[in-house]
Amino acid sequence: MKKISLLLLGLIWAIGLAASHQAILTVADSLLASGEYYAAITEYKRFVSYESPNPVSSAIHLKIALASRELADFRGALRYADKAVYAAETDSLRASHTIETAIILMNAGNPSLAEFILFREARTGRFASVRERASALLGLNYILQSKWLEAVGAISDFATLKGMEADAGVLSLLELLNANSQAGSKDPKLARRLSTWLPGLGQFYCGDWRNGVNSLVINAAIIWWFVDSALKGQLVKLVPIAFLGWKFYQGGRARAALIAERKNRELQTASVISATELYGALLEGN
């Protein structure tokens, strides 16, 4: 009789413990859904510590990874994403969690490693849904890196997997990406060289007419001042004038290169934004 009583007590305790564990998980899920990421992570980790040494569902590790990503704790996010991949109950889940790892890498500013993972899953993945998602994200990753031709290939693969090759949105996006790949950028070295030959010419090449005129006029004025002072025999002025002219001349050359670099960044940023917006609209519609 005593043994039966102890067994019943143990069973009641185990049921109560399981219920309390489930309550922790419910609270953690609620916190995650409401955007309380720090608190959610704390509760998930508490649940994991209670479960130890029992195997923990890969979904729990993934939720910690996603919450950490929202907090920009990319190191923690990657650590738990790896745990989710390792603990995945099926091959399809493992592949899906691997895609989440790539997304975290993209957010962490490591597009190269994300590209490697996504390319591998897009080309060799066993599951159609995972290949579709990997191809879609690979296209986005290429766009964010301004790798326009590579983006064309990845998005074309995605469209093929989805049966959307003739979709108007896809065709418009591919046309934009091809146009971006052919858009001419300004060569900073050439801009500097042009301003070496004629002050302001590098700025004109970059389309910055205001700075080009300023450079040309100021340098011309300094040269006129130097020549005028020399003709008037004001030799004492020649050295400081020459020094001032040299500084403006060198500054104009350097500015021409900087303007070219700035123009390239502006063009790249505008191209990325327009392509990303169009791609986002395409994905939302499908």
- Residue spans of the domains in the chain: they are 188-276
Residue type present at position 180? N
CB 114 within 8 Å of CB 105 = yes
In the prediction, which pLDDT does 189 show?
A: 92
Parts of the chain with a pLDDT under 50: 1-19
52 token code pair: 């130890």
CB 30 within 8 Å of CB 43 = no
Global confidence as pTM: 0.77
In the prediction, which pLDDT does 72 show?
A: 93
Task: List, for residues 195-209, the tens digit of each pLDDT value.
Answer: 889 888 888 888 889
In the prediction, which pLDDT does 28 show?
A: 81
In the prediction, which pLDDT does 64 show?
A: 92
In the prediction, which pLDDT does 5 show?
A: 44
Task: List, for residues 90-136, the tens digit of each pLDDT value.
Answer: 999 999 999 999 999 999 999 999 999 999 999 888 888 899 999 99
Per-residue b or e along 79-99, where b marks 16 or more CB atoms closer than 10 Å to that residue's CB: ebbebbbebbeeeebbbbbbb
CB 251 within 8 Å of CB 196 = no
